[in-house]
Structures are given as structure tokens and as C-alpha cells.
Amino acid sequence: MTDILIYSTSWCPFCVRAKMLLDHKGLEYREINLDQEPTRRLEMMERSGRRTVPQIFFGDTHVGGCDDLFALERSGGIEQLLATS
């Protein structure tokens, strides 16, 4: 099973949408809430090269943000990532 990780904040509507898609697909994920763990933002930025949330990883593969996750879903890429991990 691929370890799915999402960096998020409580107030971000894009984070909510991304988690709703993962939930709808029945995928388990680990969430790092930067409101509760602000020191992890630097970790997120180093891993993703981005400052905004959400930042989503499937294993070591950086998917990107909410729009990237939805684009991956439309192309069937989520299943491909899960199958190759």
C-alpha cells in the first residue's frame, strides 16, 4: 500500500477538497496539519519546492496541490501511481 501524505491547514478549502477526493476513493492518508505543527512547513517546502498547501505525496512521488491531484484523477494517474508503488 502506498503511503499517501498530505500537508494541510485547517482553514484551506483546497485542502478540504483534496481530502474529500481521497476519502471518496477510499484511500487512507496521513495528514500533517501545519496549524498544529508549524515547524513542519519548512520540511514541506524542502520536499515540494512550494509554499502553499495542500502538498500531496504518494510515497516519494510529489503529486502537487489540489488542482494537480484532480488532474491526476481525471487522467487515471492515481490508479497508476498506486499500482506502481
Strands (E) across the chain are located at: 4-8, 30-33, 55-58, 61-64
What residue ranges define each of the domains in the chain, with the CATH number in brackets? 4-84 (3.40.30.10)
pTM, full prediction: 0.94
Read off the pLDDT of residues 19-49 as tens digits, 9 standing for 90 and up: 999 999 999 999 999 999 999 999 999 999 9
User: Residue 8: beta bridge partners?
Assistant: 33
Q: Which residue has the cell 492515481?
A: 78
